[in-house]
Amino acid sequence: MVTCVSAGRLCSRDKSLIVALCADSHCYLFDATTQPFLESGNNVDEPSLMRPSYHQKLAFNAKDVRIVDGEGPCDMVAAYSDRVVRLFRWKQSPDAKEEFDGELVLLLKWELAGQISRISFHSTPNEKNLFVASQPGGGFAFLQKKFETYNDRICPMLVYHPPKLTAIRSVETRTWVIGNVKKGVQSHGPGGEPSCNYYMAVCLADGTVLLLDADLDKNEVLWCAQLQVQGELFGLSTLNFTSEDTEDVSVCCWDGSTYIFNYRKDILRFLVGQSCQAFTSGKYAMRRGHNEPVLVYATCESSLLIYYNLNVDSIPIYSLTQKIYLRPSLLKKLEDLGVNTSNSDQVRQAVHYLLYEFGRREHHQSLMGGGPEHPQP
């Protein structure tokens, strides 16, 4: 049984591979670039079968896997049900004649205190692509490539951030964590090069969602949302849902309820209409050469739902008056009519007059034979 899947440039800097880990220790690498590309709207008589390009046995009961796609060698980090995280690297054979003549070599192994539901990466101003693993009850741990002595053993360092406990939260609740939630682009350094700042998000199965400002030394809760859900939350992921420079956090529930949060804690909720067992979101290619925001659901009816073409301007719903305040040209026109735009009550009265009374008065005056009045909101 396949338990987790990821994709990235593992064996070569020039090609992305699909990695599938199974509960019985098998690891399969698939080269999707060799598969025929089906343009939208075209039909085929028989679908092509993707066959693995490489196979190796690693460890039993993998729960999550990620490809470390950085500037150096590409590694694979995998979490297992025995509370262990393993880091692998592809090593090409010295006399390799084929592309996949090599093997995945174990580099590091971290042993954690609690069960791991999700591993992710997080970057800080001082560190890039830190490994982070979720811990039950809302906690998480940074996994470092440095070593320390513990009980007369030399082992990789762990930096634990314990859960922010509340009266209603269980310390054993399953937890998902995701890092590198983009909060905007700022310029730093003498050259003014763009640099991204990132949040972290944590989701608990009981309906708790947190946005954090965290690194190796701190763990600050920016906001916490308590959702009333039927079932469990899962599938914590990110996507740029609107046209802003920031990323939004999305999560799904068993009944198909989907929640999307922005960094201001505005929430967009909608129902898929089917019970779901897996969910993710992000930028994926719905046509050749173009990635766009996509929501992907695996339902309990053995179907795969893909939502794309997501045209949403903003997560919060703005009133007409609020929209006017976002348009300086409209504010200027209201000021030309004598409206004090710093007074929101006057703006609402002016909008009401122009929408519902101005045309009626002109029509009434034309029936009575009078001339039109100058609008006085």
| Domain span holding position 68 | 1-111
Q: For residue 3, is it within any domain?
A: yes
Place of tokens 């034309």: 366
* Domain final position from 64, 83, 111: 111
Give the other-Cβ count within 10 Å of 236's Cβ.
25
Q: Identify any residues that bridge with 280 across adjacent strands, giving them in sequence order.
A: 296
Q: In this predicted structure, what is the pLDDT of residue 95?
A: 84
Can you name the residues that pair with 111 across neighbouring β-strands?
A: 84
Predicted confidence at residue 183, as pLDDT, reads 82
Instruction: Tell me the whole-structure pTM to 2 decimals.
Output: 0.78
CB-CB contact of 283 with 294 (8 Å): yes
For residue 190, the model assigns a pLDDT of 45
Q: Is residue 96 part of a domain?
A: yes
What are the tokens at 272? 């898929």
Instruction: Say how far residue 69 (Cα) sits from the centre of its chain.
Output: 17
Task: State how many domains the chain has.
Answer: 2
Report the pLDDT value the prediction gives residue 363, as an integer from 0 to 100: 53
**Is 234 among the domain residues?**
no
Q: Tell which of 95, 111, 127 closes a domain.
A: 111
In a domain, 360, yes or no: yes
| Closest to 85 measured CA to CA, from 150, 157, 30, 163 | 157
Distance CA 374, CA 138 (A): 62
Asked whether residue 107 is assigned to any structural domain, the reply reads: yes
Q: Is residue 76 part of a domain?
A: yes
Give me the tens of pLDDT residue by residue for the chain, a chain 377 residues long: 999 999 988 887 778 899 999 999 999 999 887 766 555 555 555 667 888 999 999 999 999 999 987 666 689 999 999 999 999 999 988 887 888 889 999 999 999 999 999 999 999 888 888 999 999 999 999 999 888 877 777 788 899 999 876 555 678 899 999 999 998 655 454 455 555 689 999 999 999 999 999 999 999 999 999 998 888 999 999 998 876 778 999 999 999 999 999 988 989 998 998 999 999 999 988 887 788 899 999 999 989 999 998 877 777 766 788 788 888 898 888 899 889 988 888 888 888 888 888 766 655 555 445 544 545 54
* Residue 5, domain member (yes or no): yes
| Residue 268 in domain | no
Q: Which pLDDT does position 74 carry in this prediction? A: 80
> Which of residues 93, 111, 129 is at a domain's end?
111
Positions of E strands within 240-315: 248-253, 257-261, 267-271, 276-287, 290-299, 304-307
Tokens 């600050």: give the residue. Answer: 220
* SS3 of residue 356 by DSSP: helix
Which of 258, 263, 261 lies closest to 234 in space, CA to CA?
258
